[in-house]
Amino acid sequence: MNRPDVTPQLFRPQPAADRQQRIPQNRQSGGPPKRLAAGSVLETMRGLAPKSDKGRGNHRPRLLIEVAHKGLNKHGEELCGDWVKISTTDTHFIAVLSDGLGSGVKANITATLTAEIAATMLEQGASIEDVIETLAGTLPQCKVRQLAYATFCILQVHNGRQAYLVEYDAPPTFLVRQGRVQSLPTTERIVYGRTIRECQFGIEEGDYLIMVSDGFIHAGVGHTLKLGWGWQNIAEAIEEAVEARPDAWQLLNALTYQCSRLYDGKPGDDSTAVVMRARRAVSTTIWSGPPADKSLDALALEKLMSEQGTKVICGGTTAQVAARLIGTPLKVQWDVKGLIENGSDDERIPPTAHLGDIDLVTEGIITISKAIERLKDAASIHELPVRQDGATQLARILLGTDKIHFIVGDAVNPQQVGDLVRGRPMRQLLLEELMKDLRARGKVVTTEHL
């Protein structure tokens, strides 16, 4: 059967002969990679291990796992029977995709419990044996079909380099390296009556990892496709998509678009994808508010300028302090002609300014509150409005950043004493709300007060 058409922006159709050459030999049969014999695991691990550091010194930059996920509810259901839990720290990354048996409320509850329990236990250092034992004791099997109430796929990454993958009754995970889907060295073993697949492998910069639930595999079955989309066809589509070097959100949107299209907009099963991309982390430092002690002004500026990555100042008084210390006048950007889509909204956002090597200088309270509004309406940087006001620029920087450090000055502006909430400046409360949103997105957020 011919493969279905794919999303034109990312999926680039290839001649059939060319596609056949690009499929790894062990996927010619149309299924996932053949399971490797135990004796071949070490050999395969050598092929998937990070490249040698020889000639480059011992330092290899820590990689960050960029992640995006989206679920399509089964047609007619209000809740999705799949659940995704992401946990990120400065050194560890955990992604869990769980698929509850059936659909609707029961599937949603069991998938949620499975993902949350697994992620929480792994965060606390539990082994996969401990996790499975707890899940087996917590979630009973379906008495009719003798199946566990939820399947799962778990990926742990340490320092962005060493990965450990565990799959229980879930579709095999896709690893894409240098544009090609690779065979993962999985082995099987039985843990508390459940047969799991697991493997350890190295992560390289530019790698993609994609988890999908059964709904993707069966997309279009009995409708647009007799046997569904299938693992191999999805692998081919992914290979075509990554030629455009998409970020995680772009690849995710392309895959979910095609999945929905194969279902004709009415998914026959809950369908969820988790897309991950290994890349170098992007950092941003934001200074907002002068220190309570004026003698610390120079220290605050020094902290800002010594950090790597993007540098932002939020606050008119803070910008004036920085300009005085740098010895450079602020250059306010009054003209945004041609960049405004909604004049009445943007006119309420104070203009930005230029100051030396600082990437963005904005006003404080109004700009931060508007940036929070922008973030509430955008799951990714691609969903932000095409504007250049200070709030949108700030939101764009934050969504494109992985590690954000806030330098928060505790001085109270005499002109804003009336805006104090429970004795605290409104600016600080807004910053805390902003940090909460960023942490919920899996970003690493740190703060210090001066």
311 pLDDT above the threshold of 80: yes
Examine residue 249 and state whether it is found in any structural domain, yes or no. yes
Residues 64 and 184 both lie in one domain: yes
Residues 249 and 169 both lie in one domain: yes
Q: Which of 262, 280, 298 is the last residue of a domain?
A: 280
pLDDT the model gives residue 2: 39
> How far lies 78's CA from each of 75, 106, 217, in Å?
9, 12, 22
pLDDT the model gives residue 122: 93
Q: In 3D, which of 110, 132, 134 has the Cα closest to residue 194?
A: 132
Per-residue pLDDT of 232-257, as tens digits, reads 999 999 999 999 999 999 999 999 99
Q: In 3D, which of 424, 355, 338, 313 has the Cα closest to residue 389?
A: 338
Question: Residue 362 phi/psi, 5° resolution?
Answer: -130, 170
Q: Which of 247, 280, 313 is the last residue of a domain?
A: 280
40 pLDDT above the threshold of 90: no
Examine residue 406 and state whether it is found in any structural domain, yes or no. yes
- To the nearest whole percent, how much of the chain has pLDDT over 70? 79
Q: Are 223 and 264 in contact (CB under 8 A)?
A: yes
180 pLDDT above the threshold of 80: yes
Examine residue 58 and state whether it is found in any structural domain, yes or no. yes
Domain with residue 219: its CATH number is 3.60.40.10
pLDDT the model gives residue 422: 55
Angle between helix axes 390-399 and 365-376 (nearest 10 degrees) is 50
pLDDT the model gives residue 341: 45
Full-model pTM = 0.76
Residues 274 and 297 both lie in one domain: no
Q: Which of 239, 256, 280 is the last residue of a domain?
A: 280
Residues 330 and 228 both lie in one domain: no
pLDDT confidence band for 89 (50 / 70 / 90): confident
pLDDT the model gives residue 136: 81
How large is the average pLDDT for residues 203-226? Answer: 91
pLDDT the model gives residue 56: 44
Report the C-alpha gap between 401 and 280 in whole angstroms. Answer: 11
How many folded domains does the chain comprise?
A: 2
Q: Are 358 and 313 in contact (CB under 8 A)?
A: yes
How large is the average pLDDT for residues 291-317? Answer: 93
Higher pLDDT, 388 or 98: 98
Report the C-alpha gap between 297 and 330 in whole angstroms. Answer: 17
Block residue for tokens 């419990």: 113
Examine residue 3 and state whether it is found in any structural domain, yes or no. no
Examine residue 11 and state whether it is found in any structural domain, yes or no. no
Q: What is the mean pLDDT of the chain?
A: 82
176 pLDDT above the threshold of 80: yes
Higher pLDDT, 27 or 347: 347
Examine residue 10 and state whether it is found in any structural domain, yes or no. no
Angle between helix axes 104-123 and 128-138 (nearest 10 degrees) is 150
pLDDT the model gives residue 423: 57
How large is the average pLDDT for residues 379-385? Answer: 89
Report the C-alpha gap between 428 and 424 in whole angstroms. Answer: 7
Contacts 24+ apart (CB under 8 A), 43-48: 44/183, 44/185, 45/185, 45/200, 45/201, 47/182, 48/175, 48/177, 48/182, 48/184, 48/185, 48/201, 48/202
Examine residue 328 and state whether it is found in any structural domain, yes or no. yes
pLDDT the model gives residue 343: 46
291 pLDDT above the threshold of 60: yes
Examine residue 88 and state whether it is found in any structural domain, yes or no. yes
Residues 302 and 391 both lie in one domain: yes
Residues 328 and 246 both lie in one domain: no
350 pLDDT above the threshold of 70: yes
Residues 353 and 238 both lie in one domain: no
Residues 303 and 188 both lie in one domain: no
Contacts 24+ apart (CB under 8 A), 83-88: 83/108, 83/111, 83/112, 83/114, 83/115, 83/116, 84/115, 84/272, 84/274, 85/115, 85/116, 85/118, 85/119, 86/119, 86/442, 87/119, 87/122, 87/123, 87/442, 88/442, 88/443, 88/444
103 alpha-carbon distance from chain centroid: 25
Residues 274 and 404 both lie in one domain: no
Residues 242 and 347 both lie in one domain: no
Q: In 3D, which of 204, 208, 211, 172 has the Cα closest to residue 188?
A: 172
| Order of all β-strands in the sheet with 358-362 | 331-332, 353-355, 358-362, 310-314, 283-288, 403-408, 444-449
Per-residue pLDDT of 251-283, as tens digits, reads 999 999 999 999 999 999 999 999 999 999 899
* DSSP notation for 423-434: TB-HHHHHHHHH
How large is the average pLDDT for residues 23-50? Answer: 38
Residues 131 and 271 both lie in one domain: yes
Per-residue pLDDT of 352-369, as tens digits, reads 999 999 999 999 999 999
How large is the average pLDDT for residues 72-101? Answer: 90
Residues 115 and 262 both lie in one domain: yes
Question: Which tokens go with 20?
Answer: 């056949």
Write out the residue range of the structural domain in which residue 343 sits.
283-449
Collapsed DSSP state (helix, strand, coil) of residue 21: helix
